[in-house]
Amino acid sequence: MILKKLILKNIRSYIDEEINFSEGSLLLSGDIGAGKSTILYAIDFALFGTRRGEMSGSELLRNGKNQGSVELHFELDGKEIIIKRTLHRGRNISQEHGSITINSNSYEYMPTELKAKILDMLGYPQELIKKNIPIFRYTVYTPQDQMKSILFDAENRLEALRKIFNVDKYSRIRSNAFAFSKELRNYMKIQEEKIRYSSEKVSEKRSKQKQIEEIEKNLEESVRKIEFSESKIRKKVEEIENIKREINSFNLLSNEKARKETELRIRSHRLERISKDLQLIRDRTKSSMISLEKYKDLKAPQIKYEEIKNELAEEDRKRMALSREKAVISSEIQKLENIYSKGVCDFCGQSVMEKDRFKKKIDLLAESTQEIDRRLKLCEDFIKKFSDIDQEWRKYSLESEKKKSLERIIESEKNNESLLNKEKIEIEIEIKEINQEINELLKDLSILQHSNEQHKILEKELAELNNEILLTEKLRSRLEQQHEDIHKEIIRLEKDIEEINLIKERIEKTSKLEKWTDDFFTNLMENIERHVMAALQKEFNSFFEKWFSILMPDDNLSVRINEDFTPVIDQNGFETEYQNLSGGEKTSVALAYRLALNMVINSMIESIKTKDLIILDEPTDGFSNEQLDKLRDVINELNLRQIIIVSHDPKIDTFVDNVIRLHKDNHISKVVA
């Protein structure tokens, strides 16, 4: 990654300024307060946006200005990249949509999406991003005021380094191993409980076997009854079939006559309906054509509605999500305030001992509600802004759809009228033919009328026989289902008994595994972790000693790294406190540590793409002239494509490749030509 250009508009002391960066060593020079640090803050903001508790919009946006922006140009993997972020002053100062341009192709993102995109482009491992490790701070740019926290906050620094180098996985493995052993012990207790009921399972199996023997006897008896009933049914069906053949012709003719009569009624009704429908169609067609005249001058609004439609939907979804979130937080506040005011928890009945803690929690939730209100206001403002456009388009869409609907109706009515006229002629012909067929059927039915009563008697007998078959089949199915259910229960019990016989073997194997995990595996992970951290410490220490020896070639003063990566300073063979050092010595320790941290991380994580760049913020604070000369050696030793140094020390001008001079006049910072 190589920085090319930075454009600032209304950012702190800059109104509208362009800073061009060259490769090699580059000095940002100027008096204290000239705006040097602002350039570094702006680079940081362009890459990662604002961050709560570290870099807020109010710290960046120039006082009295409602809009500000930072545009950063850089090279990465041979691509020309431009990132632009903007700040807007409303009730609060907030970030707006940002953009990223890659080889002239531009894309817009929300602030958090843009940050994620850049972190991915810079090659920072996803596991470190998920762990919220500020790897940019450890490798490229560390603000001067944050260096002490890295040097002396041993707990947080060590935890961060463990995560960066993935050493924390061993402690997680140990923790998981302890949990695994606990689960194994719980598992063995559960299995032992199962063994306790083994005799009950055997007794239950014997009982089920007796039940199934009884059901099998009942089933045999039911099958015999079914066979006898089926024999009776076969005889009765044979009698019915003989009679059916005699009346079949009568039934067919009766059905045919009824069908023809139904067809005659249907066609007569249809003919009447067609006449009415034709008149209605003519009336509707005339009415629709009159209504269509109103839309002859309808034109679409000159507005690109689709460009805002998706944004409106997205903002509305955000507003609904925020409203639900606010309701949840408000409910929680009400519960806590109730406990706070009563001094007693309604759920457990215990007295509240730490009321301040409840009050702080209520205040924090109230602050969250205020933040949600702010974001809701932004959504509502956006929706209100485009509501008129949306309304105009909705009105046009509705009118346009009405016009199209009328046109479709007219076309459809004309088609329907033509079809109905054709259908009317066909039906009149069919009615005449059906009347002739019915007269012929009446002649044939009069001959077979005597068989009708006999047919009814046979149908009743057949229904009774079918009902008898149904009841018999239900009885058999019920007995078979009972037999199957009991059989499944016996199989289940046999499997349970077999499983119980295997439980003792499982308990024995589980006990061995639990003992191996506790006695061997966890100790192994602890030893591996200790050796890995020792190797990292050794490499870190070698870098630290190297850089310090370049900056302070003094045999009486040396440095090293202890087991928690805290710098240890030896003076004349005795350890001394960092606070006892001179200003230049303190700065040398901090700078050496900073460079060692950079080198060890860059060497361990291959995917990082910021290895060619480092930014040093006031690295020579308190240096003597001799120490300033050593900075030249540091720059040569680093041998990076781009080194950016912020300092107001004029001597550095003499050994850097390029200098950008900054000057502030009347609260406005500018680049001096």
pLDDT of residue 86: 95
Q: Residue 565: its pLDDT value, please? A: 79
Task: Compare 490 and 97 and report the one with higher pLDDT.
Answer: 97
Q: What is the mean pLDDT of residues 339-359?
A: 70
Q: What is the mean pLDDT of residues 80-102?
A: 92
- What is the C-alpha to C-alpha distance for residues 86 and 114, in angstroms, rounded to an integer? 12
Nearest CA to 547 among 472, 475, 631?
631
Of 240, 241, 229, nearest in space to 468 by CA: 229
Q: Can you give the pLDDT at residue 130?
A: 67
Averaged pLDDT for residues 25-34: 90
Task: Identify which of 426, 431, 448 has the alpha carbon closest to the alpha carbon of residue 255.
Answer: 448
Highest mean pLDDT among 335-349, 366-380, 394-408, 609-623: 609-623
Question: Rounded CA gap, 199 and 196, in Å?
Answer: 8
Least confident of 154-158, 311-315, 376-380, 450-454: 450-454
**302 vs 611, which has greater pLDDT?**
611
Cβ atoms of 476 and 223 within 8 Å: the answer is: yes
pLDDT digits (tens, 9 = 90+) for 530-572: 787 778 888 888 888 898 888 887 768 888 888 877 888 888 8
User: Can you give the pLDDT at residue 181?
Assistant: 81
Pick from 142, 150, 149, 147: nearest CA to 615:
142
C-alpha span between 67 and 9 (Å, rounded) = 8
The reported pLDDT for the residue numbered 447 is: 64
Element (H, E) at 373: helix 355-448
Residue 76 to residue 72: CA distance in whole angstroms: 12
Where does the pLDDT of residue 349 fall: very low under 50, low under 70, confident under 90, or very high at 90 and above?
Answer: low
What is the reported pLDDT for 168?
Answer: 67
Q: Which stretch of 102-106, 255-259, 500-504 has the lowest confidence by average pLDDT?
A: 500-504
Q: Is 273 a residue whose pLDDT tops 80?
A: yes
- Residue identified by tokens 């995109």 is 117
Please compute the mean of the pLDDT values over residues 92-112 and round it to a whole number.
91
Q: Are 36 and 646 in contact (CB under 8 A)?
A: yes
What average pLDDT score do residues 163-172 get? 71
What pLDDT score does 260 carry? 82
In the predicted model, is pLDDT for residue 366 greater than 80?
A: yes
Token digits for 88? 């807007």
Share of the chain above pLDDT 70, in %: 87
The predicted pLDDT at position 11 comes to: 94
Q: Which secondary-structure segment (H or E) carries 352?
A: none
CA distance 10 to 668: 10
- When pLDDT is averaged across residues 633-660 and rounded to a whole number, the result is 90
Query: What confidence tier does 329 reach under pLDDT thresholds 50, 70, 90?
Result: confident
pLDDT of residue 347: 64
Res 660: pLDDT: 94
CA 532 to chain centre: 35
Q: Which residues pair with 74 in a beta bridge?
A: 3, 81
* DSSP state string for 191-240: HHHHHHTHHHHHHHHHHHHHHHHHHHHHHHHHHHHHHHHHHHHHHHHHHH
Task: Write the pLDDT tens digit of every residue in 625-635.
Answer: 888 888 888 88
CB atoms within 10 A of CB 444: 14
Q: Are 108 and 91 in contact (CB under 8 A)?
A: no
Residue 448: pLDDT band with limits 50, 70, 90: low
pLDDT of 287 > 90? The answer is no
Q: How confident is the model at residue 105 (pLDDT cuts 50, 70, 90)?
A: very high
Of 665 and 490, the one with more pLDDT: 665
pLDDT reading at 613 higher than 90: yes
Mean pLDDT in residue range 603-608: 83
Do 542 and 126 meet the contact criterion of CB atoms below 8 Å apart?
no
Q: How far is residue 552's CA from residue 554's CA, in Å, rounded to a whole number?
A: 5
Picking from 68-77, 257-266, 436-445, 572-581, which range would have the lowest pLDDT averaged per residue? 436-445
* Strand bridging mode 642-647 / 613-617: parallel
Q: Which helix (H) or strand (E) holds 86?
A: strand 79-89
**Residue 148: its pLDDT value, please?**
64
CA angle (544 as vertex; 539, 548 as ends), nearest 5: 150
**Higher pLDDT residue, 169 or 668?**
668
pLDDT at res. 82: 96
Contacts of 46 (CB under 8 A, 6+ apart): 6, 70, 71, 72, 83, 84, 85
Nearest-angstrom CA–CA distance, 602 and 596: 10
Q: What is the tens place of the pLDDT at every residue in 215-247?
A: 778 777 777 777 777 777 777 777 777 767 766
Give residue 283's pLDDT: 83
Question: Which of 321-325, 491-495, 497-501 is predicted most confidently?
Answer: 321-325
- pLDDT surpasses 80 at 399: no
The answer to whether 219 and 455 have CB atoms below 8 angstroms apart is no
Strand order across the 642-647 sheet: 613-617, 642-647, 24-29, 658-665, 668-672
Q: Which of 533-542, 601-610, 654-663 has the highest mean pLDDT?
A: 654-663
Confidence at residue 306, expressed as pLDDT on a 0 to 100 scale: 64
pLDDT at position 398 over 70: yes
Q: Could you give the angle at the alpha carbon of 263 between the alpha carbons of 258 and 269, nearest 5°?
A: 125
Least confident of 18-32, 59-73, 498-512: 498-512
What is each CA distance from 662 to 36, 45, 673, in whole angstroms?
Answer: 7, 20, 9
Structure tokens at 18: 């362009």
Average of per-residue pLDDT across 309-328: 81
- Is 70 exceeded by the pLDDT of residue 647? yes
Please enumerate in sequence order all residues whose Cβ is within 8 A of that of 220, keeping only pairs 6 or more positions apart, or say none: none
Contacts of 503 (CB under 8 A, 6+ apart): 191, 192, 194, 195
247 and 455 Cβ atoms separated by less than 8 Å: yes
Q: What is the pLDDT of residue 106?
A: 93
What's the pLDDT score for residue 458? Answer: 67
Q: How far is CA 366 from CA 329, 578, 616, in A?
A: 8, 43, 41
State residue 433's pLDDT score: 85
Contacts 24+ apart (CB under 8 A), 202-206: 202/497, 204/493, 205/490, 205/493, 205/494, 205/497
Q: pLDDT category, 348, cuts 50, 70, 90?
A: low
